[in-house]
């Protein structure tokens, strides 16, 4: 009996020890030991991922890091508009060393690299770092501030990888977009998004605008880098962001770039076509009054005597709806179409006149001709109009989505001074109409001059102020 009790006691003790012993827990779980949470992801997801990987691996070697050192004039804000210091500052300008970082990509094996003009503008030295970490000196071959495009060149000792330029005219909203660049100096960063919109203009960032909008993250340092499609083809050049918004970046369409690359490499600058007309948007009201079905095209408000348009027979009041075989969407679109037409080349213009659709052949002139230069000088804003001078906003402000013109000087005793306008103010609207740049301001002020008065909306620091002025 005692032996049975002893055996029972041992069984209880052993059972207790086994129950108290915990199962050993691993420090972490890894895929070699356990099954992946998602055993078979959707084939479409895997295929898309592989497309991104393949495209980036092919194109990244052609993307370069560009660093520059330049000389920038120092402006003393408290003396900027002082007549006493004006002559002194002109004779004794002060400069500072300015460093910048950007991106670019190699377009041929001779060492030509495409980037933004603002990346290399005023640069004294340009250093180009390749994907293999080799660094070369670069020089600017040609630049075009009106589209913010520049071509630089390096003399490399090895065979260079090149990017392939695609066809931006075939882009559709919703397509994948891949941006590669060097944001904040972080080499060859890849971001992915979609094409949010195409044909964005009127942003006040460049003279000729036809931007691709994308939500692929673009940050300072991405400028000049490529925007790709899933085939690894370059569809745009990343150039600007809206600082106030998230997921709003802009790229210059590659087809616009293709047209000017030969001129930049051959002669260092771009020559553009010219018609010799002043044009304005077609509003809904104007469309109804002209008997048009939609508010598209560009209304001719003035024709310069002896200009290509005048010689062809275009008249004031014509609404140009097609040019060079392409439908005209708006004023900016017509400006681009004319500028892209070869100088001396013929282009067919379709327009409405007195309710009839007419066609004429126009021989496009040069925007650098004496007649064109004289016409543009007539668009200058007379400082005596209100007693103040204005100019386009600095590019860094325009790329942040700020529109308007900067007041650079106010004459003592002038109407502007008496109203309270100050140097450094930003005029953002004229007579309740927002303005994006100097040309829009000029047009708006000409309309206001006919009325004899104007209301200006001014931004000063964080405040917005209305000023009403009489125009003598």
Tokens of residue 284, six digits: 């809904």
Q: Write down the pLDDT at residue 80.
A: 43
Q: Write down the pLDDT at residue 463.
A: 82
Mean pLDDT of 143-153: 90
Same fold, 60-153 and 273-374: no
Confirm if 103 and 52 have CB atoms less than 8 A apart.
no
Of 8 and 341, the one with more pLDDT: 341
Q: Taking Cα atoms as reference points, which of 224, 229, 225 lies closest to residue 167?
A: 229
> What distance in Å separates the CA atoms of residue 140 and residue 236, rounded to the nearest whole number?
20
Of 452 and 163, the one with more pLDDT: 163
How far is the CA of 397 from the CAs of 241, 310, 348, 464, in angstroms?
A: 11, 38, 38, 17
pLDDT at 22 over 80: no
As a whole number, the mean pLDDT across the chain is: 81
Per-residue pLDDT reduced to its tens digit, 397-408: 765 667 888 888
pTM for the structure as a whole: 0.69
Q: Is the dihedral of CA 306, 307, 309, 312 positive or negative?
A: positive
CATH number of the 60-153 domain: 2.40.10.120
* Backbone φ, ψ for residue 40 (5° rounding): -135, 90
> What distance in Å separates the CA atoms of residue 97 and residue 125, rounded to the nearest whole number?
11
How far is the CA of 268 from the CAs of 20, 69, 73, 118, 235, in angstroms?
A: 84, 21, 25, 16, 23
CATH number of the 381-470 domain: 2.30.42.10
Mean pLDDT of 127-143: 91
Confirm if 156 and 130 have CB atoms less than 8 A apart.
yes
Q: Write down the pLDDT at residue 83.
A: 45
Q: Taking Cα atoms as reference points, which of 349, 344, 287, 365 lies closest to residue 313?
A: 349
The string of DSSP letters for 166-224 reads: --GGG--TT-EEEEEE-GGG-TTEEEEEEEEEEEE---SSSSS--EEEE-S---TT-TT
Per-residue pLDDT reduced to its tens digit, 355-389: 888 999 999 888 776 666 666 555 545 445 678 88
Confidence tier at 468 by pLDDT (50, 70, 90): confident
Q: Write down the pLDDT at residue 198.
A: 87
Of 10 and 32, the one with more pLDDT: 32
Please list the residues that pair with 356 across neighbouring strands.
Answer: 353
Confidence tier at 320 by pLDDT (50, 70, 90): very high
Q: Taking Cα atoms as reference points, which of 343, 282, 340 lies closest to residue 308?
A: 343
Q: Write down the pLDDT at residue 1.
A: 53
Confirm if 115 and 104 have CB atoms less than 8 A apart.
yes
Mean pLDDT of 53-66: 90
Average the pLDDT over each of 34-48, 83-97, 212-226 and give the range with the smallest value.
Answer: 83-97
Q: Write down the pLDDT at residue 7.
A: 60
> What distance in Å separates the CA atoms of residue 125 and residue 144, rounded to the nearest whole number?
19
CATH number of the 168-267 domain: 2.40.10.10
> What distance in Å separates the CA atoms of residue 27 and residue 321, rounded to the nearest whole number?
71
Residue boundaries of the structural domains of the chain = 60-153, 168-267, 273-374, 381-470
Neighbours of 418 (CB within 10 A): 12
100 contact partners, CB below 8 Å, separation of at least 6: 67, 68, 70, 119, 123
Q: Write down the pLDDT at residue 108.
A: 92
Question: Which sequence positions are flagged as catalytic?
Answer: 118, 148, 223
Secondary structure letter of residue 62 according to DSSP = G
Q: Does CATH place domain 273-374 in 1.10.10.10?
A: no
> What distance in Å separates the CA atoms of residue 145 and residue 438, rounded to the nearest whole number?
16
Confirm if 214 and 179 have CB atoms less than 8 A apart.
yes
Per-residue pLDDT reduced to its tens digit, 225-269: 999 998 999 999 998 877 666 778 889 999 999 989 999 999 898
Exposed e or buried b for every residue in 174-211, given b needs 16+ CB within 10 A?
eebbbbbbbbeeebbbbbbbebbebbbbebbbbbbbbb
Q: Taking Cα atoms as reference points, which of 118, 115, 117, 156 lies closest to residue 137?
A: 156
Exposed e or buried b for every residue in 354-368, given b needs 16+ CB within 10 A?
eeeeeeeebebbbbe
Exposed e or buried b for every residue in 213-241, given b needs 16+ CB within 10 A?
bbbbbbbbbbbbbbbbbbebbbbbbbbbb
Of 332 and 97, the one with more pLDDT: 332
pLDDT at 16 over 90: no
Confidence tier at 164 by pLDDT (50, 70, 90): very high
Average the pLDDT over each of 148-157, 200-209, 453-462 and give the range with the smallest value.
Answer: 200-209
150 contact partners, CB below 8 Å, separation of at least 6: 114, 115, 116, 117, 119, 120, 121, 140, 142, 143, 144, 264
How far is the CA of 354 from the CAs of 276, 301, 309, 351, in angstroms?
A: 22, 15, 18, 10
């Amino acid at each position: 009996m005692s032996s049975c009790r002893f055996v029972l006691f041992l069984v209880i003790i052993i059972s207790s020890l086994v129950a108290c012993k915990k199962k050993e827990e691993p420090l972490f779980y890894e895929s070699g030991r356990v099954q992946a949470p998602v055993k078979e992801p959707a084939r479409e997801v895997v295929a898309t991922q592989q497309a991104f990987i393949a495209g980036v691996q092919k194109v990244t070697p052609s993307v370069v890091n560009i660093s520059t050192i330049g000389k920038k004039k120092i402006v003393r804000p408290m003396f900027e508009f002082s007549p006493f210091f004006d002559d002194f500052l002109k004779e004794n300008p002060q400069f500072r060393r300015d460093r910048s970082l950007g991106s670019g990509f190699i377009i041929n094996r001779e060492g030509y690299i495409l980037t933004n003009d603002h990346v290399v503008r005023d640069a004294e030295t340009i250093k180009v770092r390749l994907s293999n970490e080799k660094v070369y000196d670069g020089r600017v071959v040609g630049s075009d501030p009106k589209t913010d495009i520049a071509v630089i060149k390096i003399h490399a000792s090895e065979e260079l990888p090149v990017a392939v330029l695609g066809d931006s005219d075939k882009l559709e909203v919703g397509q994948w977009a891949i941006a590669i660049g060097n944001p904040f100096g972080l080499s060859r960063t890849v971001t992915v998004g979609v094409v949010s919109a195409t044909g964005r203009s009127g942003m006040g960032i460049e003279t000729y605008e036809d931007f691709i909008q994308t939500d692929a993250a673009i940050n300072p340092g991405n400028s000049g880098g490529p925007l790709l499609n899933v085939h690894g083809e370059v569809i745009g050049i990343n150039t600007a962001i809206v600082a106030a918004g998230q997921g709003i970046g802009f790229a210059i369409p590659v087809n616009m770039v293709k047209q000017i690359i030969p001129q930049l490499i051959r002669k260092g600058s771009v020559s553009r076509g010219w018609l010799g007309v002043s044009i304005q948007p077609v509003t809904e009201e104007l469309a109804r009054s002209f008997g048009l079905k939609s508010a598209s095209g560009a209304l001719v408000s003035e024709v310069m005597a002896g200009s290509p348009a005048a010689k062809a027979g275009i008249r004031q009041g014509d609404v140009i709806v097609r040019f060079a075989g392409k439908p005209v969407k708006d004023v900016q679109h017509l400006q681009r179409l004319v500028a892209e037409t070869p100088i001396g080349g013929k282009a067919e213009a379709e327009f409405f006149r007195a309710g009839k659709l007419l066609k004429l052949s126009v021989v496009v002139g040069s925007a650098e001709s004496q007649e064109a230069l004289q016409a543009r000088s007539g668009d200058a804003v007379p400082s005596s109009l209100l007693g103040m001078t204005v100019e386009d906003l600095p590019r860094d402000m325009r790329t942040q989505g700020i529109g308007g013109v900067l007041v650079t000087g106010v004459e003592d005793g002038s109407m502007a001074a008496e109203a309270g306008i100050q140097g450094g103010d930003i005029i953002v609207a004229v007579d309740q109409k927002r303005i994006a740049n100097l040309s829009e301001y000029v047009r708006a002020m000409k309309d206001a001059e006919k009325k004899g008065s104007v209301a200006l909306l001014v931004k000063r620091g964080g405040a917005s102020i209305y000023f009403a002025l009489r125009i003598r």
